Amino acid sequence: MIEQRQIAQELDRRVTQRTRELVERDERIRRLVDANIIGVLISELEGQILESNDAFLKMVGYSREDLVSGRIRWADLTPTEWQAVSERAVAQIKATGACEVFEKEYVRKDGSRAPVLVGAAGFGGKSSVAFVVDLTERKRAEQRLRQSEAYLAEAQRLSQTGSWAWNPATGENTYGSEECLRVLGFDPAGPIPRFEEFFKRIHPDDQAASRERFEKAIRDKADFEFEYRIVHPDKGVRNIHVVGHAVLDRSGDLGEFIGTSIDVTERKRAEQELQQLVDFVPQLIVVFDSDGKVIHANRVAREYTGLTLSSRRCGEGASCTQAWVCPE
């Protein structure tokens, strides 16, 4: 009798403990459902939604009255093009007890679409419990990003401006926009060339000076800006204006350069044509920059003063102007 009583007490203890664990688990699940962080619904595998939290109802635009009246079926909420995906998930639940997480869309009550991420598991034989994450904001952000990328690509194409990123420590060009590759004569659909492969495209007469500018920027961990020519495989010699920004890490070490490469060939040709036209104007024309350097002097000015553009700076203030305007 004592032994039977001890067995009964042990069984009672275990049942009590198990019951308490089930209650605690149920409370945790209920808190999750009521928290409305994600949508939660219990439904029949054939489509009828039996229970859901407010988050799911808000997601699909239905009220709790609609739910209680039995007017909400996940099968009816699923557009035709997403039916096959849902049917595969149901088949997985029947076969294994759960389905892989998948994306689909629901049709809201107002007819609009709600993109969602769904994970579900079998629940009580012919039912399932599903957890649903609303992807609306993420999809909108992805669409805005795609649109921005499309606008940027078109702007780069129209201006013949490419963007790039270069890690001088490894010699890798870690990024190159399609227009950058196109401008430099590489296949936009192909792999991004390493720095030395790109460098071979620079005109032989410009390679020494260009390498010196690149190496100086690396030594100084500094930004750079200059022009060089490339030999484009399809377009011949092209003028490129490059601007690079040095990106330093928290320790002050050089991490990479990011920048742009612009095809300025047509602009250079237009400038040369303009200068040729200005040369024929029967007046003295001299252009100075803000530092007093002579940017351009037409033929009449050069012949009148006897000066050349090789002297890029001729003094300060009025003395510089007098050197060109009043050579005597």
Residue whose tokens read 């699923």: 78
Instruction: Answer for the pair 264, 251: CB distance below 8 angstroms, yes or no.
Output: no
User: Are 199 and 298 contained in the same domain?
Assistant: no
CA distances for 194 relative to 171, 174, 176, 225, 233, angstroms: 6, 9, 10, 20, 17
Is residue 147 assigned to a domain?
no
Which of 268, 295, 315 delimits the end of a domain?
268
Where are the alpha helices (H) located in the chain, listed in sequence order? Answer: 2-35, 54-60, 64-68, 74-77, 83-96, 136-159, 178-183, 195-199, 204-220, 265-279, 299-305, 318-325
Give the tens place of pLDDT for each residue, 278-320: 777 777 777 777 667 776 777 777 777 776 655 544 444 444 5
User: Are 98 and 188 contained in the same domain?
Assistant: no
Give the tens place of pLDDT for each residue, 156-208: 888 889 999 999 999 999 999 999 999 999 999 999 999 999 999 999 999 99
Instruction: Please choose, from the candidates 173, 243, 229, 179, the residue with its C-alpha nearest in 3D space to the C-alpha of residue 201.
Output: 229
User: Are 302 and 232 contained in the same domain?
Assistant: no
**What is the token pair recorded at 137?**
């904001």
Does residue 295 sit in helix, strand or coil? Answer: strand
User: Are 94 and 127 contained in the same domain?
Assistant: yes
pTM: 0.60
User: The domain spanning residue 75 has which CATH number?
Assistant: 3.30.450.20
Domain span at residue 82 reads: 36-134
Beta bridge partners of 263: 240
Number of structural domains in the chain? 3
Q: Which residues of the chain have pLDDT under 50?
A: 312-319
**What is the token pair recorded at 177?**
């926009």
Is residue 94 assigned to a domain?
yes
